[in-house]
Amino acid sequence: METRRRQRRRPILLTSSRQSGTLTLVNRLWGVDSAWGVLEGLAYRHYDKLGDSTSVSFLGGGAVMRMRITSRLLAWAITQLLLTAGTNFANTVNVVNDGFGAYDVATVWGGGEYGTDMAAGVYTLTKTGDSGIGSTWHNGPIAGFCVELNEAAPTETLRYAVGMPDDMVVSYTGETLGTTKSTYLRELWARYYDPSWSLSGASSEVNRSAAAFAAAVWEIVYENAPGSGPKWDVTADGTAGLGGFLALNIDAATANKWLQNLTGCGPKADLRVFVNDGGQNYLVAVPEPATLVLLGLGGLCSILRRRTIQIH
| Residue 43 and residue 77 in contact, taking contact as beta carbons nearer than 8 Å | yes
Asked whether residue 213 carries a pLDDT value surpassing 80, the answer given is: yes
Write down the pLDDT at residue 310: 38
Going from N- to C-terminal start, the domains of the chain cover: 12-88, 94-292
The amino acid at residue 270 is D
Q: What sign does the dihedral 296-299-305-306 (CA atoms) show?
A: negative
φ and ψ at residue 176, rounded to 5 degrees: -80, 140
Above pLDDT 70, what percent of the chain?
Answer: 63
| pLDDT tens digits along 56-111 | 333 334 333 344 445 555 554 554 444 444 444 589 999 999 999 999 999 999 99
CA separation for the pair 112, 115 (Å, rounded) = 10
Per-residue pLDDT tens digits for 167-211: 999 999 999 999 999 999 999 999 999 999 999 888 999 999 999
Is 252 in contact with 266 (CB distance < 8 Å)?
no
pLDDT at position 233, please?
A: 95
DSSP type of residue 18: T
How many Cβ atoms are within 10 Å of 34's Cβ, its own excluded?
14
Cα–Cα distance for residue pair 120/102, rounded to 1 Å: 9
More confident residue, 189 or 294: 189
Q: Are 247 and 235 in contact (CB under 8 A)?
A: yes
